[in-house]
Amino acid sequence: MDSRGQLIGLATKNITDTLRDALCVTPGEQQLVIFDTAAPLAGIITESYRRALPTAEFVDFETITPDEVLARINALGARDLVVLVQSTNFRLNEFRLRIELFKRELKTIEHLHLERIPEEQFATYIEALEYDAQYYRPLGHALKTKLDSAQEVIVE
């Protein structure tokens, strides 16, 4: 297998684990992947999502209008999944995409500014997509408990 194929294989595994273990994506939920093809890493990540989400709708951002993007998002229900794979970042005029996705209670994964990552760092980026449920679940619950009982939180 060539290095691109190996990267796609590893990214598919890491993405699949994240979808299953972190976001708890189920087959009954709609899945929308909005992508572009400007950066080579965007192509690798998009192909990995095609393998991890074979029933998802895939939309090339460069081939549709902002209104069509919004219509696709508006067709989704709470807890459906939206994935954004962006070489830079998607501009939809005055529409605040991340805020709208959050307000609509959509599960969201965003890969942005992928064009900034040089090829020699592709593997590092893809390895960083790994989700270790045995580590993160207890850590996340412990942090939530601390935050819920805190009188004040200071971020430095």
| Residue 128, domain CATH | 3.40.50
Residue 154 lies inside a defined structural domain of this protein: no
Residue 156 lies inside a defined structural domain of this protein: no
Tell me whether strands 57-60 and 31-35 are parallel, antiparallel or unpaired. parallel
| Distance, CA of 45 to chain centre | 9
- Residue 109's domain comprises 3-149
Residue 74 lies inside a defined structural domain of this protein: yes
Residue 72 lies inside a defined structural domain of this protein: yes
pLDDT in tens, 110-156: 999 999 999 999 999 999 999 988 888 899 889 999 999 999 988 88
d(CA 94, CA 114): 23
Q: How many CB atoms lie within 10 A of CB 20?
A: 14
**Structural domains of the chain, count:** 1
* Angle 62-42-59 from CA coordinates, rounded to 5°: 40
* pLDDT band per the 50, 70, 90 thresholds, residue 32: very high
- pTM: predicted TM-score of the whole model, two decimal places: 0.87
